[in-house]
């Protein structure tokens, strides 16, 4: 119907058209019919209306689109688009001439435009063109459009509430299913519970869930079926349909929706074999990976609409991470190791993770360098200094300590007195022996004068005995003072706190070591003793002289081990070279013995591999 026919429409035709418009407006359940009826009623209320356009939105991309035309969609109303755009841009009513550029006069056609707003948000615009000579009152026209828009806004609000309720219902269903999945133990049990719940809530004759295994779909659960054979015809058909969804990575609906992907051959075969009137398969996507597919089937009722497909996609998106987590927790050790390796390999060879690639390349380069680079391998061991010779000063007889002149650490000279034992008893004994000797010699002289040979023999023997006792007494008196046998340092012994205490004959009082001759005693771990040989060079660093290194050469490796801190150590003796002026016996440090050149990576890892070989040998049957 053109514009001319609208002007020439009779009264009966207008009444009939208005009745049809009211019927579409008041009784229809379709939004398109409601918008068309509303626009027709509005245009019938405006004098000499020639055409109308209703634009609503915004959609997901923020665009507005025409939803109703008057008198019909075939009529060219593109000239009203400019006025609609101005209304949307300015969010206020406009009145323009028919060309859309200037304000109209009474002799020109005019375009009225008015914004549609709901809760402060722009939802669209309505534009009506009226013929020349019409009532050009801006206030009356805008008032009529304003009152009429209340019906449209109420309808949009009802749509909004219905969409919100549907969204809340979908969220509630998805939350209930997620709770069911978390409550059930095991992937198979959870999948069966979800399939049963979806079959009742959607409703569907059958809901199936399959999970991805190495690029294929493994049918995991079929609603209301506790046990099934994967080789059954229905199981194979379902698996084929799910793999089709996995390959396309998109929802497949049969009968297809407007935006359904092509190539649903497996779904068509499933529908033919199972006599389904509708099938919907949606992928379960965890991050960027499809972990499974949910397939719903109906053998009666209505096909799957866009809302149901959206609900299934929402449920699949919510359940996918939960199923993925359950699968990861139920994996075997071998599967965990393989998945970890695949993930690491994908990160390493994929297009992203540049930092990881740099780290791996750096580690590989270092490992290659350490595998070919050789350096001197040195065995480390705890070391202590000892004198080459150690002389003991012991108690010469039983007695008491009278005086002590040195203690450990003191440097002494040959002949220097170290300590003195109490000799008062020895001196008293010497006086007694001298007195007894004088008496015996007097008696001997008398016997000689009387020529008493028997008495002479006895007294001569007694005289010799007393001479021997005097000699022994003199020797003890001489040894009462202990002297240093040579120049050296006192290694052990401190009698300053033991004055007047008794000592037994042979008790060790001091140890003295010479200053010009030392040896190094190293405690080498038994794991390294096989590397050592005599005459190997080494170096010593002492705790008391950390800034100086003393070279030495290995002289002897003793075959006797000692246990310390649960480990076995062998005693290795070495001879020092170079200046030893600042050294003292008993100083401790760390010695390192050079045993040859080895690869650097072997030096760092041979202890670990030796332990592993030993452990493997012990645990092997």
| Strand (E) or helix (H) holding 23 | helix 11-27
Specify the pLDDT at position 6: 43
| Strand (E) or helix (H) holding 94 | strand 94-97
Nearest CA among 529, 610, 536 for reference residue 570? 529
Sheet hosting strand 502-503, strand order edge to edge: 481-483, 417-421, 399-404, 502-503
Work out the angle at residue 46's Cα, subtended by the Cα atoms of residues 41 and 52, and round it to the nearest 5 degrees.
65
Specify the pLDDT at position 221: 93
Q: Are 392 and 485 in contact (CB under 8 A)?
A: no
Q: Which residues of the chain have pLDDT under 50?
A: 1-11, 136
Would the pTM count as exceeding 0.85? no
Q: Are 33 and 116 in contact (CB under 8 A)?
A: no
Four-way CATH pick for 517-619: 3.30.830.10, 2.40.30.170, 3.30.465.10, 3.40.50.2000:
2.40.30.170
How far apart are the C-alpha atoms of 479 and 398, rounded to whole Å?
A: 12
Q: Is 404 helix (H, G, I), strand (E, B) or coil?
A: strand
Specify the pLDDT at position 128: 84
Name the fold adopted by 3-163: Beta-Lactamase (3.30.450)
Domain positions in the chain = 3-163, 184-330, 391-510, 517-619
3-163 and 184-330 share one fold? yes
Sheet hosting strand 508-513, strand order edge to edge: 391-394, 508-513, 488-492, 411-412
Specify the pLDDT at position 262: 57
Yes or no: is domain 184-330 CATH 3.30.450.40?
Answer: yes
To the nearest 10°, the Cα dihedral for 504, 505, 509, 510? -170
């Amino acid at each position: 119907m053109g514009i001319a026919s609208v002007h020439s429409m009779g009264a009966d035709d207008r009444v009939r058209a208005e009745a049809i418009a009211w019927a579409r407006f008041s009784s229809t359940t379709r939004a398109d019919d409601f918008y068309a009826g509303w626009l027709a009623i509005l245009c019938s209320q405006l004098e000499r209306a020639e055409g109308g356009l209703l634009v609503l939105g915004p959609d997901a991309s923020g665009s507005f689109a025409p939803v109703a035309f008057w008198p019909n969609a075939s009529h060219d109303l593109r000239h009203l688009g400019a006025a609609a755009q101005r209304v949307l841009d300015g969010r206020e009513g406009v009145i323009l001439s028919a060309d859309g550029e200037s304000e109209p006069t009474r002799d020109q056609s005019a375009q009225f435009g008015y914004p549609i707003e709901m809760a402060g948000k722009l939802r669209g615009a309505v534009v009506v063109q009226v013929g020349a000579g019409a009532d050009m009152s801006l206030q009356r026209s805008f008032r009529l459009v304003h009152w009429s828009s209340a019906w449209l806004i109420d309808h949009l609000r009802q749509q909004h509430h219905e969409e919100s309720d549907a969204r809340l219902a979908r969220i509630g269903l998805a939350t209930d299913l997620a709770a069911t999945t978390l409550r059930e133990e095991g992937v198979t049990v959870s999948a069966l519970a979800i399939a049963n719940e979806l079959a009742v809530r959607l409703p569907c004759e059958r809901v199936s869930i399959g999970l991805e295994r190495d690029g294929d779909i493994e049918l995991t659960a079929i609603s209301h079926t506790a046990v099934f054979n994967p080789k059954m015809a229905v199981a194979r058909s379902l698996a084929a349909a799910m793999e089709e969804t996995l390959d396309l990575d998109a929802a497949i609906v049969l009968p297809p929706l407007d935006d359904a992907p092509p190539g649903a051959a497996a779904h068509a075969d499933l529908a033919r074999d199972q006599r389904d009137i509708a099938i919907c398969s949606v992928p379960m996507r965890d991050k960027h990976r499809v972990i499974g597919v949910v397939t719903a089937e109906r053998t009666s009722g209505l096909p799957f609409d866009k809302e149901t497909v959206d609900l299934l996609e929402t449920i699949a998106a919510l359940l996918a991470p939960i199923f993925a987590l359950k699968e990861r927790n139920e994996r075997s050790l071998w599967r965990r190791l393989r998945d970890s390796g695949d993930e690491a390999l994908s990160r390493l060879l994929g297009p992203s993770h540049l930092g990881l690639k740099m780290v791996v390349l750096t580690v590989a380069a270092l490992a290659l360098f350490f595998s070919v680079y050789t350096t001197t391998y040195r065995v480390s061991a705890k070391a202590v200094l000892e004198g080459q010779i150690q002389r003991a000063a012991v108690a010469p007889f039983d007695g008491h300590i009278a005086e002590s002149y040195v203690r450990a650490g003191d440097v002494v000279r040959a002949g220097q007195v170290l300590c003195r034992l109490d000799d008062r008893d020895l001196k008293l004994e010497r006086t007694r022996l001298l007195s007894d000797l004088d008496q015996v010699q007097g008696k001997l002289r008398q016997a000689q004068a009387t020529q008493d040979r028997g008495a002479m023999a006895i007294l001569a023997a007694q005289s010799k005995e007393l001479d021997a006792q005097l000699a022994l007494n003199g020797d003890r008196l001489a040894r009462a003072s202990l002297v240093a046998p040579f120049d050296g340092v006192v290694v052990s012994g401190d009698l300053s706190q033991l004055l007047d205490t008794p000592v037994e004959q042979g008790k060790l009082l001091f140890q003295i070591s010479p200053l010009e001759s030392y040896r190094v005693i190293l405690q080498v771990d038994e794991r390294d003793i096989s590397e050592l040989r005599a005459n190997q060079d080494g170096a010593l660093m002492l705790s008391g002289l950390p800034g100086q290194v003393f070279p030495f050469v290995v002289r002897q490796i003793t075959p006797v081990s000692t246990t310390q801190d649960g480990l076995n150590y062998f005693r290795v003796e070495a001879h020092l070279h170079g200046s030893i002026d600042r050294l003292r016996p008993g100083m401790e440090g760390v010695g390192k013995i050079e045993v040859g050149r080895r690869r650097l990576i072997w030096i760092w890892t041979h202890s670990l591999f030796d332990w592993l070989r030993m452990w493997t040998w012990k645990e092997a049957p």
